[in-house]
Structure formats: C-alpha cells, structure tokens
Amino acid sequence: MTALQQSIDETRIAAAAADRMKAEDIVAFDVSNQMAICDTMLVASASNERQVLAVAEEIEKDLALKAQVHPKSREGIAEAQWILLDYGDIIVHVMHEEARGFYNLERLWRDCPQVDLELPQEATQE
C-alpha cells in the first residue's frame, strides 16, 4: 500500500507553503506501510519561534484554501518549538531547528520512501 494521491497532493501544498515562508530541510515520508494512522509525515525546520508559528499558520491557511481541509488537532502553538498539525491522513511537524536536531524524527522513518515534494531545486539543497 502507498499513500493516497490526495494525501500526497495535500503534503505538497503544505511543503510549498513552508518553502514560501523560508522553512528549511523540508522533507516528507510515505509512512502508509508502517503506520495505520496516516499516509504521510512532513517535517520542516525554522530558525526561531516566530518563524515556526508563521510557517505553521501558512500551512494551515494554504490547506484550508487549496484543499478545503482543516487540522483535527494542533499541538505546540503556545511554545512554538514544535508545532504538530494533524490532518488525519497527513501529519505536519514544524520544528525549531534545535528541537529537530535533538529529536531527529527522520531516523524513525528512514526505511520509508520519501515523497517528491516538487519544490524548486534550491529549496531542497543545503
């Protein structure tokens, strides 16, 4: 089983919004074979709390306008160190770069295929 195309499309919308807000290290994984709770996980970094919040808000706005979906839950808004947006089929993690380095979520999904986010080349290179 692979992620539904709708989930991939929504993940790409979220990634484009994060990229537009200058998030870094944007990556998504197709976790549909490993987890029953969702299809994809998107992770993006920001350099400070204000930017973490701005990236999360832009993702919410774009998904509401372009895909007519709203998060089932939102966690971490007050601290803005690690904001989790749960859309059911996709889960978005917007993390302060220090928190991302500490938790290293990518190691959990390293065996899962990455989702091609179709971002401009500059956005995916560091």
pLDDT of residue 2: 79
Per-residue pLDDT of the chain (126 residues; tens, 9 = 90+): 577 899 999 999 999 999 999 999 999 999 999 888 899 999 999 999 999 999 999 999 999 999 999 999 999 999 999 999 999 999 999 999 999 999 999 999 989 999 999 998 654 444
Q: Which domains does the chain carry?
A: 5-118 (3.30.460.10)
Q: Report helix, strand or coil for 91.
A: strand
Measured in whole angstroms, the distance separating CA 26 from the mean position of its chain's CA atoms is 7
**CA distance linking residue 65 with residue 96, whole number of Å:** 25
Of 58, 4, 47, 28, the C-alpha closest to 124 is 28
**What pLDDT shows up at residue 69?**
98
| β-pair partners for 86 | 73, 91
pLDDT at 35: 84
What pLDDT score was predicted for residue 1? 53
Give CA separation, 52 vs 12, 33, 99, in Å: 18, 29, 11
pLDDT at 124: 46
Residue 41's beta-bridge partner residues? 29, 91
